[in-house]
Amino acid sequence: MSRPRLTARSAAWTVAGVVVASSLLIGLFRLAGPDRAPGSSAVPSPEPSPAPGPTAQPSREPGSHFTVHLGRVFGHGAGGRAHPADLAASARAVAQTMTDLYSAAFVDPAGWHNGTFPGIFRLFAGSARLTAHSDLRELTLGRAAAKLDTVRPHGARVNVRFLTDASDRPSVAFADMSFEGTGVAGTAEIPLRQGGTFTLRRVDGVWRIVAYDVRSHIPSAFDVERRFQEASALPSLPSRNPFFFLVIGSDARPGQSLNGSRGDSLHIVGVDPRTGAASILGIPRDSFVPVPGAGTTKINEALARGGPELAVKTVEQLSGVHIDAYILTGFQGFEQIVRTVGAISIQIPYDISDHFSHAFFQRGTTELNPREALAFVRNRHDAPGGDLGRSLNQGRFLIAALAELRDRLRTDAAAIIPWVVAGARYVQTDLSFPQMIDLILAVPAIDPARIVNRVVPGSVATVGGRSVVLLGAGAREMFHDLARDATLGH
């Protein structure tokens, strides 16, 4: 009997996957990160371990005769495909973790404890450890353990895919596991099967399970019926405090510096982990505001005068919102990101025909290729409100990218790999590599339908012969609303 998927969602990290992932315009990944990242628990990059081995080492715990055999192993990161020798020791360690899990959960009666399985929880980390308690029936023999005399394993195999960091060291493991055996209850023999994908991170030097998506064919507690069961747990955002990103689009053309050019787009993205609600607030690039060290001028000059750090400082001073991290890319990088991760499905809100940006779209759902995606987010001549309408469309694109990544991660946790690769090559950010991984893996916890997309209101004026946007009381109220709990209109 099929059972609906169980999903673990804690409110967590602070912005989380929300934006980041979401924001394609962000691909999201820098393989190293300075100090401005949020103060939650970032897992340190794993250190390489020695000596390859074809299979997991035997467990020293009860049931040590049981071994999960190691199958295919490969890894990929921003630097390309990893060398097998650099993955072998970590692969063996991952296989050992899976050996310990399946020994305690299926093979070794000494670990069953009448269906409570206390020994398996040390193999999990983070929110997955809590979720494993409620998902015991899907992760183990469950209540059927009290009725079974023993289990004869027939085969257990794991294929491991690694995501590597900037130094080509394994950072995240995706273990594709399959197990088959026979449960024995008196004279009755019942086939058992379980398979799925486990996501592992190195915690305190040991590979631990931080997410899982498993499917089981196991007997009921009364050994009279079989049913298919499914469970999944996803990492959550690691804090209950609101979290804010500043997403910056540089006006840099090919060959120009991202930091030395003006800011073509600015969006504050906030997430409230307690409720899962999120907001995107666009700031018009021509907003006439105080820029520290430069006087009152257009906000897009902050990036050119002082890089993303000055852009962050300017936005913080203007809005009263503390920015926890920034994400920066340019036109060329944006297009390359879409090329790397694949087309983005989006709902075009109205017919668009703009010869300046080469944006030609009909209202309705469409998939944007790299060129079309760039044209859509750059269009302002055919957008209601001009630059304000363009900023709103950029927010729409961020939400569409988040939805795309969320759908892909639900199918395969390893779907983050092209997003990580794209971000590492085409994005600048002050988030560290481990923090970015945590955020992207947490994306499925964010519902794109609950993201509020707004643009700060203002009026067009001329100052010193330049067209600018003057922000008034409506803008101040919107900033205050966002700063309170990272959500607008709640």
* The pLDDT of residue 40: 35
> What do you get for the CA distance between the two ends of the chain, in Å?
41
Four-residue CA torsion sign, 145, 150, 155, 159: positive
Burial of 167 (0-12, 13-18, 19+ CB in 10 A): middle
* The pLDDT of residue 184: 78
Is the distance from CB of 478 to CB of 279 less than 8 angstroms?
Answer: no
Name the percent of the chain lying above pLDDT 70.
82
- Is pLDDT of 214 > 50? yes
Please write the tens of the pLDDT for every residue from 28-79. Answer: 323 223 333 333 333 333 333 333 333 333 333 334 478 999 999 999 987 7
Burial of 426 (0-12, 13-18, 19+ CB in 10 A): buried
- Among 10-24, 330-344, 414-428, 462-476, the range scoring the smallest mean pLDDT is 10-24
How far is it, in rounded angstroms, from Cα 324 to Cα 93?
A: 35
- At 22, the amino acid letter reads S
What integer is the mean pLDDT of 1-9?
A: 34
Structure tokens at 280: 């995107």
Structure tokens at 314: 């300017």
- Residue located via tokens 């006087």: 295
Is the distance from CB of 341 to CB of 431 less than 8 angstroms?
Answer: no
* The pLDDT of residue 231: 54
- Residue located via tokens 């085409």: 426
CA 63 and chain centroid, separation:
36
Is the distance from CB of 444 to CB of 236 less than 8 angstroms?
Answer: no
What integer is the mean pLDDT of 291-313?
A: 94
Please write the tens of the pLDDT for every residue from 108-161. Answer: 988 887 788 988 999 999 999 999 999 998 899 888 887 788 889 999 999 999
Residues 6+ apart with CB under 8 A from 479: 281, 318, 319, 320, 321, 456
- Is pLDDT of 422 > 90? no
CA-angle at 232, arms to 18 and 1, nearest 5°: 140
Query: Comparing 412 with 185, which gets the higher pLDDT?
Result: 412
CB-based contacts of 307-312 (< 8 A; 24+ apart in sequence): 307/259, 307/260, 308/246, 308/248, 308/259, 308/428, 308/430, 311/246, 311/248, 311/263, 311/266, 312/36, 312/246
Confidence band of 226 (pLDDT split at 50, 70, 90): very low
* The pLDDT of residue 233: 63
* The pLDDT of residue 373: 94
Q: How far is CA 330 from CA 77, 407, 423, in A?
A: 22, 26, 12
β-bridge mates for residue 70, sequence order: 158
How far is it, in rounded angstroms, from Cα 13 to Cα 273?
A: 7
CB atoms within 10 A of CB 76: 17
Burial of 356 (0-12, 13-18, 19+ CB in 10 A): exposed
Residues 6+ apart with CB under 8 A from 34: 430
Is the distance from CB of 125 to CB of 201 less than 8 angstroms?
Answer: yes
* The pLDDT of residue 339: 94
Q: Taking all residues of the chain, what is their mean pLDDT, rounded to a whole number?
A: 81
Query: Comparing 221 with 438, which gets the higher pLDDT?
Result: 438
